[in-house]
Amino acid sequence: MNRYMTTALLALVLLPSILSAQPPQGASPIIRDLSWTDESFLNTQRKRITRIASEQIGVPIRGTSEDLATLQRIIDRELISQDDISMQQALGVVMGDAMLAAESQLRWKVYEDNRGNSRALCAASVNECLFPVTMLSRRMRVGLKPDVKKIYLDALYLIAEDLPQLPYGGKREYSIY
């Protein structure tokens, strides 16, 4: 048997197992807790933005909505280049931490679907998630200067519909101050 026939035979044998390993189109996503590696990645991203904020703007990152103004200043001053997607996504991690501080029902999780794995903020009781890591980078990589506060508030209001209702019919209010 020549090399090409062996390769073709191997492909025919392995193809069913490869295809069955892929989640079916339209399958429900798998949401799982962060691994040590995921936690380490998020911490590294936070440190990168903390360094820029401290050195370039003179403001610490606190993990609260106060960080939104700092993120906006980093974007407005173009301290992160348009082609540095990793740093742009680091901005999204810090914005996600601010969302987490504002909404106790959210948790950092790994969201796995047929496109791959993403780190996301997910509601504890339902399979609804926000993807703050890419909320800013998708806009920045095409040359836009996103309005951080607007994106933050829009995302929180979007997920609020899927969170458990507050007792006594209370309505969720989010602040950026």
Edge-to-edge, what's the strand order for the sheet holding 129-130?
A: 30-32, 106-113, 116-123, 129-130
Q: What is the pLDDT along the chain (177 residues), one digit of tens a residue?
A: 554 444 433 333 333 333 333 444 567 889 999 999 999 999 999 999 999 999 999 999 999 999 999 999 999 999 999 999 999 999 999 999 999 888 878 999 999 988 899 999 998 776 789 999 999 999 999 999 999 999 999 998 888 876 666 555 555 565 554
What one-letter code names the amino acid at 111? Y
Q: What is the pLDDT of residue 176?
A: 55
Strands 129-130 and 106-113 come out as: unpaired
> Mapping DSSP to helix (H, G, I), strand (E, B) and coil, where does residue 65 land?
coil
Residue 38 and residue 143: Cα distance in Å, rounded? 28
Cα dihedral angle (41, 55, 150, 80), rounded to 10 degrees?
A: -70
- Write down the H helix ranges in 26-143: 36-52, 67-76, 85-102, 132-135, 137-140
Q: Count the Cβ atoms, other than its own, within 10 Å of residue 129.
A: 21
Res 29: pLDDT: 86
Domains of the chain: 29-161 (1.20.120.1090)
What is the structure's pLDDT at 105?
A: 83
pLDDT at 144: 94
Determine the pLDDT at residue 28. 83
Burial class from Cβ neighbours inside 10 Å (0-12, 13-18, 19+) for residue 10 reads: exposed
Place of tokens 């969720």: 172
Q: Which two tokens stand for residue 118?
A: 């993403």
Q: Are 160 and 121 in contact (CB under 8 A)?
A: no
